[in-house]
Amino acid sequence: MTVALVIPVLLILGTLVVKGAPAISWDFLFTAPTNNMTAGGIFPALVGTIWLVVVALLASVPVGVAAALYLSEYAPDNLLTRAINLAIVNLAGVPSIVHALFGFGAFVLFFNMGASILAASLTLAVMTLPVVIVATRESLQAVPHAFREACWNMGATRWQTIRKVVLPNSISGILTGVILEVSRTSGETAPIMFTGATAFLAFLPESVFDQTMAMSYHLFYIATQVPDAPEELTYGVALVLIGIVLMMNAVSIAFRVYLRGLKKW
């Protein structure tokens, strides 16, 4: 079963490397698109993707961790709590285009943010929030209850127990949710298409209220709207996007493994 899953992934990566590697160069990474998007580089899209991922993380991780803490450590086990948990799980399965329309109506129009990095990032944050909540909650619940009881018997408050014992022992699981969020946020196209991404900008964004280019939307645009774009250019963009996701995941996984190794249980 594992081999059956790995082989298609390796084939996809191999195809991207073979067809996209010739396009990779310093100019490709650090210059803007030229000649009607058929030449040049991806630097504005690269910077825009970093903007979107960072702002989305800043918006969703604190809220997601706080929500998971409440549901796991404070909320009573009643019908309302079970309904909230069910809603969170169901929200994770909502198609991204639905989140895109929600973000357009809520952030772009209702809150009058316009098409901007902030509106796009908040849309991505809403879309990935269930992933952070579920991963964090499961990590918190994995901490043995005996740890909590030992702290309470020594006179610690509930918050002191959470801050000193529960959270430090669940940080690796929280990072799992962050890893999944980074992966999904980097590659989503529909939510940012409606809320903040644009096909081309002659300047880099200076604040969260500017529009931006993004790797995923740039790939979609040149693959579908620029018929004269060289094949190696399209595959090169895809290769860099996959490389960014893999690099972020590798760093996060290494840090998670390091933290897990510090556990004494």
Q: What pLDDT, on the 0 to 100 scale, is given for residue 68?
A: 94
Mean pLDDT (whole number) for 17-21: 92
Q: What is the 3-class SS of the chain, one letter each residue?
A: CHHHHHHHHHHHHHHHHHHHHHHCCHHHHHCCEECCCCEECCHHHHHHHHHHHHHHHHHHHHHHHHHHHHHHHHCCCCHHHHHHHHHHHHHCCCCHHHHHHHHHHHHHHHCCCCCCHHHHHHHHHHHHHHHHHHHHHHHHHHCCHHHHHHHHHCCCCHHHHHHHHHHHHHHHHHHHHHHHHHHHHHHCCHHHHHHCECCCCCCCCCCCCCCECCHHHHHHHHHHCCCCCCHHHHHHHHHHHHHHHHHHHHHHHHHHHHHHHCCCC
Domain boundaries, the chain: 43-261
Over the stretch 145-167, which tens digit does the pLDDT of each residue have? Answer: 898 888 988 888 889 999 988 98
- Mean pLDDT, rounded, for 85-90: 90
Q: Say if CB 43 and CB 31 are below 8 A apart.
A: yes
Checking if the pLDDT of 185 tops 80, the result is yes
End-to-end Cα distance, the chain: 31
Computed over every residue of the chain, the mean pLDDT equals 89
- Mean predicted confidence (pLDDT) in 225-250: 89
Domain range 43-261, CATH class: mainly alpha
User: How big is the chain by its Cα radius of gyration, in Å?
Assistant: 21
Q: What is the pTM of this model?
A: 0.91
Mean pLDDT of 47-55: 94
pLDDT tens per residue, range 89-139:
888 889 999 999 999 999 999 999 999 999 999 999 999 999 899 989 988
Least confident of 140-144, 181-185, 228-232: 181-185
- Average pLDDT value for residue range 220-243: 91
